Amino acid sequence: MPFLGQDWRSPGDQWVRTSEGWERLRLWRIKVFENLNENVVARLIRMALADSGPHRQTMERRQPHIFYNKGTTKERKELVSLSEALLRLDMAGAVKDIRRANFVCKLLQLIFEGKLANLSGTAQKHVFHILEATVNEAVRTEMNFGPVKKLIIQAEQALENGKDSHIGSNCLWNQHIQMLIKLSNKLADYQLKEREKDSRILLSDLPQDCLRQILFQIADHRDVIHTGQTAQTLHIVSQESSLWRNLCLFHFSGRQLLTFLPKHVDSAETLDNVDWKYIYKRCYK
């Protein structure tokens, strides 16, 4: 079904009828691939890589992307909607990638904080589809339950705040509420399984020198604090002054540190006696 706009600069678009209503053809094709079985997708990828030849390494490094034009002219008018961006960037599949999962959670947090009611109905569907994929991945991997629960709470507040001023039908808004109830129940009913005694080494069993080098690689102080709350040995290492000194030097400039450093600091020996965790808290605020 071709649709041609009255604007001569608009190329129009093709639409296809699905069980959920009319959708643009180019976005529908992307959703078809998203709903394929993981085994089928893996097989298609292997076949594509086998035929790629010398371009195989380039294809493996290729990330989902979109082309965004900052400005438009009379001769060129190309706009990218939020729903199209979420599909093309594969946000629902990104929750399975540890390198992109935190970015997806932050994006959902920004949307739920005050933009959900202003989104189109299609964009709202994609947002809750991503939220559902995030919850399913958390249950499957038994990881990131804290951030996911916060997203559920923020989504509930967003639905409550926008119930009288949202874009789209009330039926669609009620579907979001029902989905959120289902996801909340799924998290509440899930019980974390204790690890069986398999005689394998644990993180807390490593020497303190190894633990110290691992924590030195963490750039976020919240991750350091949460790691220290898991075991007594990790708590001791996470409280060391040298660790917080590295965090201070990594995040803040010398001028910022001099603002809160004691005035009597004038040598390396006195620097070792400084409460670097306190300095970090003051600079972070």
Q: Which of 257, 214, 274 has the alpha carbon at shortest distance from 238?
A: 214
How far, in Å, CA of 131 to CA of 149, rounded? 11
Amino acid identity for residue 180 in this structure = L
Contact at 8 Å (CB) between 41 and 50?
no
Question: Is 50 exceeded by the pLDDT of residue 7?
Answer: no
Q: What is the pTM of this model?
A: 0.61
Rounded to 5 degrees, φ, ψ at 163 are -65, -25
Question: Is 50 exceeded by the pLDDT of residue 8?
Answer: no
* CB environment 123-161: b (16+ within 10 A), e (fewer): bbbbbbbbbbbbbbbbbeeeebeebbeebbebbeebbee
Q: Mean pLDDT throughout 128-147? A: 88
Helix (H) or strand (E) holding 13: strand 13-18
Strand partners, 23: 16
**Residues belonging to the chain:** 285
Q: Mean pLDDT throughout 233-247? A: 88
How far, in Å, CA of 213 to CA of 2, rounded? 60
Name the token pair of 124: 């709202």
State the pLDDT at residue 271: 66
* CB environment 24-43: b (16+ within 10 A), e (fewer): beebbeeeeeeeeeeeeeee
Contact at 8 Å (CB) between 112 and 151?
yes
Name the token pair of 242: 């040298």
Question: Is 80 exceeded by the pLDDT of residue 174?
Answer: yes
Name the token pair of 36: 């394929």
State the pLDDT at residue 59: 44
How far, in Å, CA of 232 to CA of 244, rounded? 18
Contact at 8 Å (CB) between 82 and 88?
no
Q: Where are the domains of the chain?
A: 83-189, 206-284
Residue with tokens 């639409």: 15
* Cβ-Cβ contacts under 8 Å for 47 (sequence gap 6 or more): none
Contact at 8 Å (CB) between 57 and 46?
no
Contact at 8 Å (CB) between 261 and 230?
no
pLDDT in tens, 56-99: 454 445 567 777 666 666 655 556 778 888 888 888 888 888 77
Select, from the ranges 31-35, 151-155, 194-198, the one with the highest average predicted confidence (pLDDT): 151-155
pLDDT in tens, 27-59: 666 666 666 666 666 666 666 666 555 554 544
State the pLDDT at residue 265: 61
Mean pLDDT of the chain: 78
